[in-house]
Structure 1
Amino acid sequence: AAPAYTEMNLCNIHFHKNAEHKGGEFAKYAGNGDGHGFQSGYVYSGKLSSSEKRATKAAVCPSKHGALNSGDTIEVHYVHSTAQVMPGPTLGACLSESIMNPQLRVETQVYVLVNDKNALDFAKLTKHGAKNSYQQAFNIPNNTGSAIQYAGSTTGPGYNEKGSPLQVSWSVRPEVAKVNIATVAKWCEGNTFNEDHAHGVRNLVTNPKLLSAK
């Protein structure tokens, strides 16, 4: 397994609409979706108040696959690398000329978007900088349950039918945190990672050929 994320460099933060992982408070299936990784995945199985689900005035993080709405679930990936890299756009930021196959660790937190200014601030949740000579995200939640650790690969709908070549140590927190949707909207308007929309989800991998140890 890769080292603890506190001994690696944060290289990328992005999020998927609906959870790619199933478990904890996000075990409710969203459906098979459109075949491109959208409208599929898993969603928060808890209850939200009608005010938390109140619609936003403007579209949040719009893309050709639609925008985000109050009540939606997102899975945030805080990607870390053993390469000497700085945080930046895409997984390319996690690789360096000197190490093309670094160890990668993804700290995962599932959030539900609520229309509540007292909920968590996404700018704070993604705040990053240098700490103990590593690039770090300072405020990854530590109160959302004991993270499930497992070895896998990179995700996204591009890897539905083939395994990804990049090996990843995953760390998935089982509880969902509520984040203020307005702060996610603001983040999509400008951040270090050039992220402006939610990514699709990879299908839950059940094909034995992709799961074999070889």
Structure 2
Amino acid sequence: MSKGEETRAAVLDLAARQVSVGGLNALTIGVLADQARLSKSGLFAHFKSKEQLQLAVIDRFAELFAERVIRPALKAPRGEARLRELFDRKLRWGSGDLALPGGCFFYGVSAELDDAEPGPVRDRFLQAFRDYIDTIATVFRTGITEGEFRPDADPEQYAFDIQGVLMAHHHASRLMGDPKADDRAWASFEALVRAARI
């Protein structure tokens, strides 16, 4: 990796931490340059515009999510064990040892962009979010092919349901400070899995 690539990667990691707390709209080249101890012109050379910086940060979040959640979960045996590992790692990504300071990027930024006009930033974020939801459905689908879940189970419905559990967990743990948030999320997960088993 060249020095320029190293600088860009370090800046994106710093930006990811900032966005997890303050959102995409609060991220500016000027603020990031100050925090990264770079000149504005030096940072501008890497990203060219606020929009390009936001797009790069979304890509970095997707990389971090794959690195900390998806790829490790896919090492678990196919079926329920893999689904369980994915759920566990996603909980930890939102508020545990895998989390960024502001918690789950997907939930924070979705609140910021849900009513935003279509455009490159919203489109890139939606693609990252869809990829994440598709991963849940795909992992569930392997449980069907492994004979662990009912053949008539709907992977997309399961992904929708488990996403609801994960969002509720995010709000309960981060906003409400509920000490039972993890236990409640796991109870919901177990109920969904029981309902899908053969």
Q: TM-score, normalised by structure 1?
A: 0.24
Larger radius of gyration: 2
Quick check: which one's strand share is greater? 1
Quick check: which one's helix share is greater? 2
Q: TM-score, normalised by structure 2?
A: 0.25
